[in-house]
Amino acid sequence: MLVLRPITKDDFAALKEVAKASGHGFTSLPVCDDLLESKINRAVESFEKDVSAPRDEGYLFVLEDTNSGEIVGTTAIEAAVGLDVPLYHYHMGKTVHHSSTLGVYNTVDILTMCNDYTGATEICTLFLKESHRSGLAGRFLSRIRFLFMAQHQARFSNRVIAEMRGVSDKNGHSPFWQWLQEHFFSIDFPTADHLIGTGNKVFISELMPKYPIYANLLSKDAQAVIGNVHDKTKPALRLLEKEGFEFRGYVDLFDAGPTVEAQMDNIKSVRESRLLTVKIGKGQSVDTYAIANLEVNAFKAVFSCDISIDDNDDTAIIDSELASALNVKCGDSIRILKLS
């Protein structure tokens, strides 16, 4: 059975393997022992905190195959980004060059550096090993975060964002960064990517151009990738678009990948999730559901079709194995969401 739970300090080795498998561009899991340990410690502290408003908490979950003990995926939520370390984006806008005397009217796309998402909640660090990418595990990892957020809304902002991985080649080189490197930097994209992942962001404010960049001055290759995602990220983007996330012109500084956003109240999984009371028995459904308990530090979640729902009394029948995996008993409440 695949069970989602908060990460623990015993998961360091498994998290490092996930970080290695995630590849270039996955800056939220750098292959660095100190930073991974710090990320785990921060997550453990965040799950244990008594929180009434979002601050610098980071909630990192792991998906465990309970049969083998293998960690096969991760997913995470940053409660409020940019409060301690600035979060930079480019915002895509337009400027007009007009001369009535000459009869000239030109509209030009521009990129302006900003910190507009300061304080927003960010969903991030979704990764699933190749061996488990068939079926519903990926959809579960994406949507289960919204059940946790729906249950514990005081811990999160109403503005929720997701930074999508931009276009880069198999060696991790980004066409957009290539142009920036030639004109403003002397480091390659994997190096800049690693610095961001390790929290070394000072060079952004030191070297990044302060004035708007005219997009038509970029190379054709750089222009072509602005707002586009890496091929491996397209399924994740489609899932978020179905949830109601939209692209509103914000892109990453380094690979120009899009950032999408939604209001918490408008997220499909938040709106459609339901609270039900547990009954123990033999459950069966033609649909598969994400099922979660209501805890924070002891959060557990699974996906299964072994559940029967009675809409008349808002109860859910699950068997003892599922109840044990979720650490719930008869009479407890669970939150569910239809996955298929």
Find the catalytic residue in 24, 89, 194, 230: 230
Instruction: Write out the two tokens for 177.
Output: 């960064």
Catalytic annotation present for 24: no
Is residue 320 within 8 A of residue 280, CB to CB? The reply is: yes
- Matching residue, tokens 């990192």: 60
DSSP string across 167-223? ---TT---HHHHHHHHHT-SS-HHHHHHHHHTT--HHHHHHS-SSPEEGGGS-HHHH
> Over 67-82, what HEC string results?
CCCEEEEEEEEECCCC
235-263 core/surface letters (b: 16 or more CB in 10 A; e: else) = ebbebbeebbbebebbbbbbbbbbbbbbe
- Matching residue, tokens 């990460």: 7
| Catalytic annotation, residues | 230
